[in-house]
Amino acid sequence: MTLQLENWKTQIRRGYLELCILSAIRHADRLYGLELIEKLSEAGIPVKEGTLYPLLSRLTEDKLLASTWETEASKGHPRKFYSLTKSGTKILEEMRTEFDRMVATLDAFETETLRRLTPATRRN
């Protein structure tokens, strides 16, 4: 893969990862970090701890997530659980709407605009 493609993919993944994190937490009501890594990985979105935890920290500072430390009786070690705030729920809805709009725009562009191009008008 070219460096240009890798850079593009990195940029796309950044915003997409935030959307996936917020969505996963909303659907589960609350998750802790390693649990979130597992859920994302199962969905084909691999993420490393060094990427996830700074992002969770920023989302918490931005008041999109709330965090609470809890000790599970069966495990005995504390875990930091994350849940969506009201602002986080609102932003997630807006992010999802925008993402869906972008996908629909690309689909419409490819099916309508590009289909109208005849081989004689296409540029190589």
The tens-digit pLDDT sequence of the chain (124 residues) is: 688 998 888 888 888 999 999 999 999 999 999 999 999 999 999 999 999 999 999 999 999 999 999 887 656 788 999 999 999 999 999 999 999 999 999 998 888 877 777 565 555 5
Instruction: Check residue 31 and give its pLDDT.
Output: 96
Q: What structural domains does the chain harbor?
A: 3-116 (1.10.10.10)
pTM above 0.85, yes or no: no
b/e map of 5-42 (b: 16 or more CB within 10 Å)?
eeeeeeeeeeeebbebbbebbbeeebbbbebbbebbee
Strand partners of residue 113: none
pLDDT at position 17: 95
Task: Please give the distance of CA 10 from its chain centroid, rounded to a whole number.
Answer: 12
Predicted local confidence at residue 115, as pLDDT: 74
Q: For residue 16, give the nearest of 43, 49, 38 by alpha carbon.
A: 43
What's the pLDDT score for residue 75? 67
